[in-house]
Amino acid sequence: MASFSGTKINPSKLHISQWKFFIILIPVAIFMVLPIVYIINHAFKPVEELFLWPPRFVVKNPTVSNFVELFAQTSRTGVPMSRYLFNSIVITLTLVVVSIILSSIAGYALSKLKFKLKKPLLFLNNIALMFVGSSVVIPRYLVIEKLGLINNFFVYILPAIAMPVGLFLIKQFIDQIPDELIDAAKVDGASDFRIYWSIVLPLIRPAIATIAIVAFQAAWNDSSIASTYIDDESLKNFAFYMTTLTGATSVVSGQGMAAAASLIMFIPNLVIFIFLQRNVMNTMSHSGIK
């Protein structure tokens, strides 16, 4: 019987012959981490250091006043910053969970089940991969308006749970599971849901991690939905609030709050990628199962 295990892109042990690669990789890694160091330092700079010229890379007198002002700040309509942040957290967590569930179930059905509309659905999903979001702004707005989702919290979630790229990646990953394994489970009396839950899901964890990152970044960083479909200030997200910070009070004080908000927006993206990046590499190589 074939064995199943996640293919590791990086070897678990370092061989002496690999040291020559570090001569190039270490300087490149240091260069790539510099923007991360800068954005962290920038968030803790006092106002006088924010406007220094030439800009100072490392903060000399770190302060948390930017964060204090940010959390104490309210919008012109009286909505506190914590409300925007809460909205973004709820939207992001909901979208990530729902996207993973729908993409994995649909991917299993399109890969291993047989039904009449299988090929047309696959074709439609592949066609959807060809369109960027800006090309369907007007049709999307008309559909959302007909559904009554204007100025509705669900406008963040319902249009975004369909992820063509997520379905494509998971379907390709499930295709690598031998049909003999699925047939053996059916002979033993396992239902389709039991096969999906007990066999398929554990084997496609790298693909699920990739979808989690894609869905997280799409929901956490998107400010276009709030600016296009939402009028109620209390329903807008943190990404939209960031665009209003520099004009919230004055240009000078707004820059400090914007720097702090940028760090808050950046840290979750960094953390989730650090923990899941190995699974992303496995998914991109299409070698999670062998």
Q: Is 77 strand, coil or helix? A: coil
**CA atoms of 135 and 35, how far apart (whole Å):** 32
| pLDDT bucket at 151, cuts 50 / 70 / 90 | very high
What totals of helices (H) and strands (E) does the chain contain, helices first?
14, 0
Quick one: CA torsion of 89, 150, 224, 162, rounded to 10 degrees?
A: 70
Q: Rounded to 5 degrees, what are φ and ψ at 271?
A: -65, -45
Res 131 pLDDT > 70: yes
Which residue type is seen at 102?
Answer: L
Res 76 pLDDT > 60: yes
% of the chain residues with pLDDT over 70: 86
**CA atoms of 200 and 192, how far apart (whole Å):** 10
Asked whether the beta carbons of 87 and 226 are under 8 A apart, the reply is no
- Residue 97 CB neighbours (<10 A): 13
Query: Domains of the chain by range and CATH?
Result: 15-63 (no CATH), 77-284 (1.10.3720.10)
Structure tokens at 216: 């997280």
| pLDDT bucket at 236, cuts 50 / 70 / 90 | very high
Res 52 pLDDT > 80: no
Query: pLDDT tens for residues 91-120?
Result: 999 999 999 999 999 999 999 998 888 999
Longest distance between any two alpha carbons in the chain, whole Å: 72
Res 144 pLDDT > 60: yes
Q: What is the mean pLDDT of residues 246-257?
A: 64
Residues pairing with 80 in the sheet: 74
Res 247 pLDDT > 60: no
**CA atoms of 241 and 150, how far apart (whole Å):** 19
Buried b (16+ CB within 10 A) or exposed e, 14-26: eeeeeeeeeeeee
Beta carbons within 8 Å of 178's beta carbon, 6+ residues apart: 2
The CA–CA distances, whole Å, from 235 to 87, 123, 148, 157 equal 7, 36, 15, 13
Q: Rounded to 5 degrees, what are φ and ψ at 74?
A: -125, 155
**CA atoms of 50 and 44, how far apart (whole Å):** 9
Res 290 pLDDT > 50: no
Chain-wide mean pLDDT for the chain? 83
